[in-house]
Amino acid sequence: MTYEGYGPGGIAVLVECLTDNTNRTAANVRSYFVKGNGNLGTNGCVSFMFDHKGVLVIDRNEDVTIDEEELEMQVIEAGAEDFHVEDTHFEIITDIEDFGSVRDELSSAGYEFSMAELRYLPQTMTELSTPEDLKFMKKLVDLLEEDDDVQNVYHNWEEKE
């Protein structure tokens, strides 16, 4: 089951759950939104703000040197949508339909993934400006993540370090 709603400051929140008791889970998720100063919405109220994509992450390792240009060419040839180079890892974004083939092709080329999963990626990010909104958003995310029925929590909150 997927629940959708808004956190404080209009932050879009998407919650994926796996449960044997939908009444309990729905009540719990609703209460978490209330405690986090947000509100649970209807199906489709925030999902349009997210893209469902495949995400592959290859960690940079001191023991193994990866040629960035060679990896980027292999990623493009495999059919990935996007490629990001970060300080600690490489991130590859794919369409849902291409996820398996891109993963398999890069895996057969000898790359190992620290993460390979389907995720909801926000189209835009939103910052929270007031300390009260920050406190409630952290509380909402913590409550959701602590629930055993909640599998994944996606949001468009741009967290500042």
Q: Could you give the CA distance from residue 161 to residue 121 in angstroms, rounded to a whole number?
A: 20
Q: Is the pLDDT of residue 80 over 70?
A: yes
**Cβ-contact 64, 110 below 8 angstroms:** no
Please, which pLDDT band fits residue 161 given cuts at 50, 70 and 90?
low
Q: Is the pLDDT of residue 127 over 90?
A: yes
Q: What is the CATH number of domain 52-121?
A: 3.30.70.980
Answer whether 2-48+122-155 and 52-121 agree in fold.
yes
Q: Is the pLDDT of residue 110 over 70?
A: yes
Q: Is the pLDDT of residue 119 over 80?
A: yes
Q: Is the pLDDT of residue 140 over 60?
A: yes
Question: Helix count (H) and strand count (E) of the chain?
Answer: 4, 8
Mean pLDDT for the stretch of residues 73-80: 94
Q: Which amino acid is at 95?
A: D
Q: pTM for this one? A: 0.86
Rg of the chain in Å (alpha carbons): 18
- Per-domain boundaries in the chain: 2-48+122-155, 52-121
Please, which pLDDT band fits residue 23 given cuts at 50, 70 and 90?
very high
Q: Could you give the CA distance from residue 74 to residue 65 in angstroms, rounded to a whole number?
A: 16
Instruction: List beta partners, residue 54.
Output: 94, 118
Percent of the chain with pLDDT over 90: 89
Q: Which CATH number fits domain 2-48+122-155: 3.60.110.10, 3.40.50.2000, 3.40.50.1000, 3.30.70.980?
A: 3.30.70.980
Give me the sign of the Cα torsion angle 98, 52, 112, 70: positive
Question: Hey, what long-range contacts does 110-118 have (CB within 8 A, 24 or more apart)?
Answer: 111/58, 111/66, 111/71, 112/58, 113/56, 113/57, 113/58, 114/57, 114/58, 114/59, 114/89, 115/55, 115/56, 115/57, 116/54, 116/55, 116/56, 116/57, 117/54, 117/55, 118/52, 118/53, 118/54, 118/55
Q: Could you give the CA distance from residue 65 to residue 125 in angstroms, rounded to a whole number?
A: 33
Q: Is the pLDDT of residue 96 over 70?
A: yes
pLDDT in tens, 37-71: 999 999 999 999 999 999 999 998 877 788 889 99
